[in-house]
Amino acid sequence: IDHPSCHSPPTLKRPTEANSFLYCHTMQDKVNLGEKLDLIKGFYQPGIVGFLNDYKIQVAKIKGPFIWHKHEETDEFFMVIKGTLTIHLRDKDVVLQKNEIFVVPRGVEHCPEADEEAQILLIEPSETRNTGNVGGERTYHPDKL
């Protein structure tokens, strides 16, 4: 798939119709996160708002518990835009409020949870699955918003 302002990063597979948006790394304009969050309809269904090298920048709405999982190959960056997010780790809970960040280290099992709706920003490699090593029905393939 050819995109005039895009390239295929050497660490990613060849573009296909299903994943071609992963190869557009040029931001043509600023992004309003509030407007992008308004496009998200379901909880734990992130949308891609941009790219930073081979990393996708995503926003998501969350409510309730997710699943315990880990990412063996990468850290995972969380920032709360609105609400409160608890990231359960096996040995402690990390509670994040608006404008706070936390990075879950690679290989660390975690379970995000929000009692009330929270809005978050995530940064992770483009090929990373939201359900990490677990997979299953909660796996969501994000759309570019």
Interval 16-65: pLDDT, tens: 444 555 555 556 789 999 999 999 999 999 999 999 999 999 999 999 99
- Tokens 């994943």 correspond to what residue? 19
Tens-digit pLDDT profile for residues 62-76: 999 999 999 999 999
Which residue type is seen at 107?
Answer: G
- pTM: predicted TM-score of the whole model, two decimal places: 0.79
- In the chain the beta strands, taken as DSSP E runs, fall at 47-52, 55-65, 76-82, 85-89, 93-96, 101-104, 110-125, 143-144
Q: How far apart are CA 85 and CA 100, in angstroms?
A: 10
